[in-house]
Amino acid sequence: FEKEDERPVRQRLLVVANRLPVSAVRKGEDSWTLEISAGGLVTALLGVKEFEARWIGWAGVNVPDEIGQKALTKALAEKRCIPVFLDEEIVHQYYNGYCNNILWPLFHYLGLPQEDRLATTRSFQSQFAAYKKANQMFADVVNMHYEEGDVVWCHDYHLMFLPKCLKEYNSAMKVGWFLHTPFPSSEIHRTLPSRSELLRSVLAADLVGFHTYDYARHFVSACTRILGLEGTPEGVEDQGRLTRVAAFPIGIDSERFINALKLPQVQDHMKDLKERFAGRKVMLGVDRLDMIKGIPQKILAFEKFLEENPSWRDKVVLLQIAVPTRTDVPEYQKLTSQVHEIVGRINGRFGTLTAVPIHHLDRSLDFHALCALYAVTDVALVTSLRDGMNLVSYEFVACQDATKGVLILSEFAGAAQSLGAGAILVNPWNITEVAAAIGQALNMKPDDREKRHKHNFLHVTTHTAQEWAETFVSELNDTVVEAEIRTRD
Ligand code: ADP
Ligand code: G6P
């Protein structure tokens, strides 16, 4: 271990995201337990190590009392986390409402549910007001902890208003903003009543990042078409001030997965799974139970495959692990019952007294169980209707160096741009095509599997979360220096 004073001075990074990497569960008036939060943003950011990072965000609970707030602040400080306390009403309007019922479906090209459309329009103003208020609360906490020279890195669609709030406090603050979802075509973004205000707030940042070049291009088009600003190869210019816009594809901490496979408890788990599913090929889906993940479409494609290929019926099993998410939003509640209904029907149709074709779990798996499952899988099904990147596909590839299983991947996931050459790409809306891809994957020859896996494994192990963060932060530092030089000249 390096001694404290021999360590190189590392840049302080304030990572601001709606969700902290740990969520709190209350155990008593002043005692809490902390659990790792689910989702790609947290997974990627946990893989970022070489910074002096502090996390600022919401711990996922309402803590109305001062005693509870003090105790939680103390417990979180040990994890270098700083809480933003949001009350129930703000969570309802900002998180469930504006973020997850309006921005999330819109950015994933899903629009709004038909029956909620009018109600949503009526509540839009109050939800947007809550969104701005919540962003201001995040800004207040950042401001309290900011020290000169810090890099402030804001994350995701929850905090599009934050760059503006921060620059109003201190125009010298280095502010970056990164979107973990797709940024949709400007034709979609322009339907949003608050379209201009959100774009202008994001443009207050020094550097704006996306997973893919397409998302960055859509953002620049939205700024030129909606705000009438000038798009340049570097970004967006407004009265001589440049906001740099670029693509920074995220990755995972691949070593963590590869090393986990060597642990005895993971090996034992793999052995159990292999015994339990002996004689059957294992297909796997791991998703948050979210409408963007295309879970009903995936299961219907599997049904079509079984329907058309009777000889496979007792030789393949689909394990769908779907962790519940955003359970207070009605659309998510409807999805849960829809998925249960479809799974029940298919298991009734193709199940036998001793086996069912689909094992569906509404829960999250711990890290070691997840690694073991990835490792014994023959075919992974990632069929998102849209997805910013999709890190499950990366995690699967990282755990497959022995099995060399096949990845079936939606062409609408950002990961299609990096893992497309090694995966079987599908249009997840086309159930017939996905069913055919399942057949192709199950029958694929070993040398083809090996070639595809090699391509993807190389990508996943060389484009890591750490490298992603270093590239973003170093680009942000450079951008600020260049802007200072431009202003001086
Ligand atoms: P998103 O960010 O939309 O949730 P990603 O695929 O990028 O999608 O990231 C999901 C992350 O959450 C991954 O790290 C994955 O391992 C984790 N995850 C998703 N579902 C489960 C589950 N059922 N059990 C355990 N972890 C899960
Ligand atoms: C996606 C979003 C993240 C979010 C995660 C989990 O990955 O991009 O910002 O944290 O989903 O969703 P939740 O609403 O539970 O934070």
The 10s digit of each residue's pLDDT in 329-348 is 988 999 999 999 999 999 99
Whether the CB of 180 sits within 6 Å of ligand 2: yes
pLDDT score for 180: 98
Does residue 269's CB lie within 6 angstroms of at least one atom of ligand 2?
Answer: no
**Which ligand 1 atom sits closest to the C-alpha of 322?**
23
Q: Whose CA is nearest to atom 22 of ligand 1?
A: 364
CA angle (11 as vertex; 392, 147 as ends), nearest 5: 115
Whole-number average pLDDT of the chain: 94
Regarding the beta carbon of 156 and ligand 2, being less than 6 Å apart is answered yes
How confident is residue 448, by pLDDT bands cut at 50, 70 and 90? Answer: very high
pLDDT at 226 over 70: yes
pLDDT average, residue stretch 240-251: 97
Nearest CA to ligand 2 atom 11: 39
- φ, ψ for residue 3, nearest 5 deg: -75, 150
C-alpha to C-alpha distance for 79 and 81, rounded to whole angstroms: 5
Q: How far is the CA of 215 from the centre of ligand 2 (A)?
A: 18
Ligand nearest to the CA of 155: 2
Ligand 2 site, residue 83, Cβ cutoff 6 A: no
pLDDT, one tens digit per residue, over 208-220 is 999 999 999 999 9
Angle at the Cα of 41 from the Cα atoms of 206 and 391, rounded to 5 degrees: 120
* pLDDT for the residue 4: 45
Q: How high is the pLDDT of residue 117?
A: 61
- Report which of 318, 305, 322, 312 is spatially closest to residue 356, judged by C-alpha positions: 318
On the question of pLDDT at 204 being above 50, the answer is yes
Q: Is 325 in the pocket of ligand 2 (CB under 6 A)?
A: yes
* DSSP letter, residue 97: I
Ligand sitting nearest the alpha carbon of 364: 1
Contact 31, 14 (CB under 8 A): no
pLDDT of residue 42: 87
Confidence (pLDDT) at 39: 86
If you take atom 27 of ligand 1, which residue's CA is the nearest one? 364
Residues 6+ apart with CB under 8 A from 66: none
pTM for this one? 0.96
**Is the shortest distance between the CB of 39 and ligand 2 below 6 Å?**
yes
Q: Residue 486 pLDDT > 90, yes or no?
A: no
Ligand 1: centre distance to CA 38 (Å): 6
pLDDT for 133-187, tens place per residue?
Answer: 999 999 999 999 999 999 999 999 999 999 999 999 999 999 999 999 999 999 9
Residue 375's contacts (CB-CB under 8 Å, 6 or more residues apart) are 261, 266, 270, 399, 400, 402, 403
What pLDDT is stored for residue 124 in this prediction?
86
Q: CA-CA distances (angstroms) from residue 450 to 325, 395, 403, 469?
A: 35, 17, 9, 30
pLDDT of residue 9: 61
Q: Give φ, ψ of 228 to 5 degrees.
A: 70, 25
- How far is the C-alpha of 400 from the C-alpha of 119, rounded, in Å? 47
Give the mean model confidence (pLDDT) for residues 297-322: 98
For residue 323, the CA-to-ligand 1 centroid distance in Å is 8
Atom 19 of ligand 1 has which residue's CA nearest to it? 287
Q: Ligand 1 centroid vs 329 CA: distance in angstroms?
A: 19
Q: Taking 90 as the threshold, does the pLDDT of residue 324 lie above it?
A: yes
pLDDT: is 256 or 51 the higher one?
A: 256
pLDDT for 115 equals: 56
Ligand approaching nearest to the C-alpha of 465 = 1
What is the pLDDT, as a whole number, of residue 47? 78
**Nearest-CA residue for atom 14 of ligand 2:** 326
Q: Tell me, what's the pLDDT at 37?
A: 87
Residue-wise pLDDT tens digits, 111-124: 865 556 666 667 88
Q: What is the pLDDT of residue 275?
A: 98
Q: What distance in angstroms lies between residue 488's CA and the mean position of ligand 1's atoms? A: 46
The Å distance, Cα 416 to ligand 2 centre, comes to 20
Q: How far is the CA of 34 from the centre of ligand 2 (A)?
A: 17
Nearest CA, atom 2, ligand 1: 40
How far apart are the CA of 158 and the centre of ligand 2, in A? 9
Give yes or no for residue 41 CB within 6 A of ligand 2. Answer: yes
Mean pLDDT check: name the lowest of 112-116, 279-283, 381-385.
Answer: 112-116
Mean pLDDT, range 418-426, rounded to an integer: 97
Residue identifier of the C-alpha nearest atom 1 of ligand 2: 39
* Mean pLDDT of the region 228-245: 96
Measured in Å, residue 293 CA sits from the centre of ligand 1 at: 11
Percent of the chain with pLDDT over 90: 87
